[in-house]
Structure 1
Amino acid sequence: MQRLQRARASQLARRLQAASRSRLWLRIELGLIFFGIPTVVLVCRLSGFRLPLVPTLLVVCAGIVAMLVRDPHFDRRVLATLRGLGNESRRVLLFFAVSAAVLMAYTAWVWPERFLDLPRERPWLWAMVMVLYPVLSVLPQELIYRVYFFHRYSRAVGDPRVLLALSAVAFGYVHVLYGAWISVILTLVGGLLFGLTYLRTRSIWLVSLEHALYGCFLFTVGLGRFFYEAV
């Protein structure tokens, strides 16, 4: 009996040790992917080797999707669910309306010469951005920073509040590549909003809609210049 108890205790200890190592490696992986890669890209761009950001984003997203599809623990229904399009969509739209009013007033006050400049001066380019930005930028970012991030690192982090904060910081950090403090601040706040929506609904479509609303609005109101290649 004592031998059996010792064997079980030893087996449990090995499992706990293996789980601890797994969490450690996941945390290291998180740091390398979400902070290491943007840092390398930033250093390359500052050194004169400019990796195009959108193609790089699409390549990374393709790799992320491949890993998700091959992961037996990933619930693929996340990619199709329309949960949250009721009460949560009303919350998203209400908060967006308030935020948009504040950002519009701020832009008109601080940068009056830039206010609504893209639709006024280059309407065709503005229309292209409204169509292509959600597909080529928003959806890949949401697959990486919400779907993959929350699936992959929930076990390593544990507390969903910490996971939400980490995802927002990572989302804000990658926007250092645009070379403007306002893009980092806005995306840090946006990361919290989008992460909260995803945690509450597990719907990539609702969180992508939310992200697209804010992004398209920023390009419309005159803040889009902080969100295209600068560094």
Structure 2
Amino acid sequence: MTDTATSAPAPARRAWLLAEFCLLFFVAPALQFAFFDTLGVFGPIAVVCLLAVVLLQLTPGWHWRELIAFHGLARWLPFLAAFVILAIAIMAALVLWLRPYAFLSMPVERTGLWVLIMTLYPVLSVIGQEIVFRPLFFRRYGHLIGGPVIRVVLNAGVFSLAHLFYQNWVALTLTFLGGIAFGYAYERSGSFPLVFLMHTLAGQALFTLGLGAFFYHGSIPG
């Protein structure tokens, strides 16, 4: 298979990549939001993840072994620990403000479901999201976007936009803040294992603390 964007002249390649970028990160979430009753949650996400895999395969310089490249991760462990502590503090305060009755309710009252989410969430949700929003975003489209600060903020913005279909400010705010942290970490380190761990631990804490209702498709207004 030929990467059309790579084989085209520079201006045409740039236009092609910009079109890809807009379709994946703006048009796709807008369509999912507008036609959620028809499209649902998982179909659009699966299509975008599949496209991300294909496009990354066509991206010059990308190697799939980067997904399990742990070199250099150790020096980022203090950052990871600080992020997790801050994320837990913010989310605990948020749940105590908005849903105090739900604080730690899932592990206590629905232990089986909680264990299932803790186990499957990293595999079924985090890996796909991180491939789309970190390697694909930064490695294939990063050179189209200004400096590192602009890249990180835009990355957080489109990551938040992808959660628009949840239709609540908590999901949009937390994913934007998380996107800032994940984007910064990937921009600086280039480490997929690092952002995978950050996203996994933050998501597990979110469901454990009691904010899962804001990220549950069954709670979306009809």
- Report the TM-score when normalising by structure 1: 0.84
**Equivalent-residue separation in structure 2 for 1:126 and 1:71 (angstroms):** 38
Contact 2:160-2:173 at 8 Å conserved across structures = yes
C-alpha change, 1:106 and 1:33, in structure 2 (3 Å) is closer
Contact 2:67-2:192 at 8 Å conserved across structures = yes
Establish whether residue 29 from structure 1 lines up as the match of residue 17 from structure 2: no
* 1:89 alignment partner, SS class: helix
Aligned twin of 2:6: none
* 1:73 alignment partner, SS class: coil
- CA deviation map 1:132-179 (0-9, x unaligned): 111100110000000101011122114222111111100001111111
Aligned twin of 2:50: 62
How much does 1:36 deviate?
Answer: 0.3
Within-5 A mapping of 1:3-152: 18-45=9-36, 48-49=37-38, 51-152=39-140
* 2:18 alignment partner, SS class: helix
Kindly report structure 1 stretches of 4+ aligned residues shifted beyond 4 Å: none
- CA deviation map 1:52-82 (0-9, x unaligned): 4234323321221122123343244422211
Establish whether residue 192 from structure 1 lines up as the match of residue 180 from structure 2: yes
Percent of aligned pairs sharing the same letter: 37
Aligned letter for 1:33?
L
**Equivalent-residue separation in structure 1 for 2:191 and 2:73 (angstroms):** 9
1:210 to 195, 198, 210: 198
- CA deviation map 1:79-117 (0-9, x unaligned): 221134212122111221133123213322332111112
Tell me, which stretches of 5 or more residues in structure 1 are unaligned? 1-17
2:151 to 151, 157, 163: 163
Aligned letter for 1:30?
F
Aligned twin of 2:209: 221
* 1:83 alignment partner, SS class: coil
Tell me, which stretches of 5 or more residues in structure 2 are unaligned? 1-8
Contact 1:24-1:156 at 8 Å conserved across structures = no
- Report the TM-score when normalising by structure 2: 0.87
Structure with bigger gyration radius: 1
Aligned letter for 2:199?
H
Aligned twin of 2:4: none
Contact 1:54-1:136 at 8 Å conserved across structures = no
